[in-house]
Structure 1
Amino acid sequence: MSQSSKIFDDLGRLMNDAASVADGVRREAETAMRGQMERIVNDLDLVKREDYDALRDLVQIQGEEIEALRRDLEAFKKRRKTS
């Protein structure tokens, strides 16, 4: 093997090792950032989307029921006045 070929092989291995180290650092940084973001979100005491949607639907249904009860009450009051 010639000297220049060995240098290129060594350089290739070095670059490959550097890329592997950089990828490992990237993954470690992502993991650390993800953990930090999860802690921040948990500290904010946010509501899950599914819980919000379920509560919104429940409030809408109850609003419709209240409106129906108001109409029934008004009709009852009108009947009572005419009796």
Structure 2
Amino acid sequence: MMSTGTNRIMDEFAKLMTDAAGAAQGVRREAETAFHAQAERWLNSLDVVRREEFDVVREMALKALDENEALRAKIEALEAKLSGDGK
């Protein structure tokens, strides 16, 4: 009889621990979500850009620099041709 009562108590204790662990995981997930939301608000208030956005703008800037170099080379070639024709 004693072992049946002990087993029931142990089963109840195990169920309580399982429920507590599940609740702890839920609280942890909520805390992480709240933290991420707060961190995002804080970063947005600092005007910090995401890595993907930075990379896109960086690629655009590099492309613009390449285009400027190409245009500069064309202008220099035209200037050289014009100054050569004028002589």
The 3 A distance-change label for structure 1 pair 48 and 29 is: closer
Taking the TM superposition and a 5 Å limit, the aligned residue runs for 1:1-83 are: 2-82=4-84, 83=86
Following superposition, the deviation at residue 10 of structure 1 comes to 2.3
Coordinate RMSD, CA, aligned = 2.4
Following superposition, the deviation at residue 7 of structure 1 comes to 2.0
Following superposition, the deviation at residue 20 of structure 1 comes to 2.4
Structure 2: distance between partners of 1:55 and 1:73? 27
Structure 1: distance between partners of 2:81 and 2:43? 55
Of stretches 73-82 and 20-29 in structure 1, the one that deviates more from structure 2 is 73-82
Following superposition, the deviation at residue 66 of structure 1 comes to 2.1
Following superposition, the deviation at residue 63 of structure 1 comes to 1.9
| Equivalent residue pairs, number | 83
TM-score normalised per structure 2: 0.66
Identity of counterpart residues, as a percentage?
43
